[in-house]
Structure 1
Amino acid sequence: MPASSEGQSTVRGSWSLWLHAAVAIAMVAALRLEDRLWWCACARWNLWSSDVWGAHNSQHFVDPYAFTHLLHGVGFWWILRLVAARWSVWRQSLATAVLEALWEVWENSPFIIERYRQETAAQGYLGDTVLNSIGDLLSCLAGFWIAQRIGWRWSIALFAVTEIVLALWIRDGLILNILMLIWPIEAIKAWQMPAS
């Protein structure tokens, strides 16, 4: 690659990072307008919370659902490789960030929070904190860049293995999550409930 082309690529990448940051800032502003808390109301500074059925779900920086957001990134990579193949990888990454940020804002709307409470096992779901949404956005971008690095075959394997592990671990996953939001199945909801 000629030196001038390398320089242009670096400049484009730098601008793209600033645009990614702007997307994150806009998402944070929208979430605060929805009255989302910055951090868990418990005031504990845990970066990780593993209890998906408890009060700390989606309240800390990352939790098991971060892996579903990683799969969002893989899925966005697949879609963008098909419908926007001519775009640079940075433009595709930025589109991924915008799509995920829009989902985070919508996911934390009263309508979707109530939908989760009514139709899934997340009956006590409070919505995400702002920092959890930032963690979700970063997880999604990580998924995009991992898929970009490993390609189609391995990203399909990653998706399948992650879904299986999540189903065994938390009785949920990206596909089950989408299914239960769109077309709830009572037997799946019963299976997803915590063991008493």
Structure 2
Amino acid sequence: MTASPARRPTLYGTLASAAIVALAAAILLAMGRPPICTCGTVDLWHPALDAGNSQHIADWYTPSHVIHGFLFYALGHALLRRWQLPARLTLAVAIEAGWELLENSPAVIDRYRTATMALGYTGDSVLNSVADIGWMAAGFVLAARLPVAITVALAIGFELLTLVLIRDNLTLNIVMLIAPIDAIRTWQGAL
């Protein structure tokens, strides 16, 4: 049985996205990234800001990946309106997968260690990177279904929540990677 013409873009987008995620996972493994946390466990939620951070399915940086999805949806909606939604989502998956590969390169890992509050950061496990791509896709789908005001409110809420609880968020992460500010680093280190 073949997919109806109306369902083909979704089927093709899903298959293409799955292939992109599988390729990213294979590349991460080839780069020497551990498949799961070297602690030997897999947590659905890892609440501590310790060596297990960025090693499990979700942690305090998960909201930033959901926000990536919100932003990719907004950009696709603004710039690629003629593309069907599944094609825009597939492009977002490819961009997020590319980020996960770049983020786990030695140069970016070293940058995180020297410029941000992630002093002991050693990179992500493959499981965490794949989950991060999934969280981005979830954010994209949420943004496609929710009213703009609710999506914006969620993004602001996520940013404020992580700012208050861990003194970090997507905005500070970008600032500290691009142009580190000593006062921010000192404030974050006081946690």
- Kindly state the Cα deviation for residue 170 of structure 1 after the two structures are TM-superposed: 1.1
Q: Among the aligned pairs, what percent are the same residue?
A: 37
1:38 equivalenced with 2:21 (yes/no):
no
Q: 2: distance between equivalents of 1:83 and 1:109?
A: 29
Aligned to 1:124: 120
Gaps of 5+ in 2: none
- Tell me the alpha carbon deviations over residues 36-71 of structure 1, each in whole angstroms, 9 at most, x when there is no partner: 00011111232221112x111101121111110000
Q: 2: distance between equivalents of 1:110 and 1:194?
A: 27
What's the TM-score, normalizing by structure 1?
Answer: 0.93
Q: 2: distance between equivalents of 1:29 and 1:194?
A: 38
- From 150, 157, 160, the equivalent of 2:156 is 160
- Tell me the alpha carbon deviations over residues 69-110 of structure 1, each in whole angstroms, 9 at most, x when there is no partner: 000000111111111011111011001100000000000000
What's the TM-score, normalizing by structure 2?
Answer: 0.95
Aligned to 2:23: 26
- From 72, 86, 93, the equivalent of 1:76 is 72
SS of the residue 2:7 aligns to: helix
1:51 equivalenced with 2:48 (yes/no):
yes
State the one-letter code of the partner of 1:99. I
Gaps of 5+ in 1: 1-5
- Kindly state the Cα deviation for residue 159 of structure 1 after the two structures are TM-superposed: 1.1
SS of the residue 2:142 aligns to: helix
State the one-letter code of the partner of 2:178. I
- Kindly state the Cα deviation for residue 154 of structure 1 after the two structures are TM-superposed: 1.9
User: Once superposed, what is the RMSD of the aligned Cα atoms?
Assistant: 1.2
- Kindly state the Cα deviation for residue 194 of structure 1 after the two structures are TM-superposed: 5.3
SS of the residue 2:4 aligns to: helix
Aligned to 1:90: 86
SS of the residue 1:51 aligns to: coil
- Tell me the alpha carbon deviations over residues 137-193 of structure 1, each in whole angstroms, 9 at most, x when there is no partner: 000000000000113222111111111111011111111110100010111111112
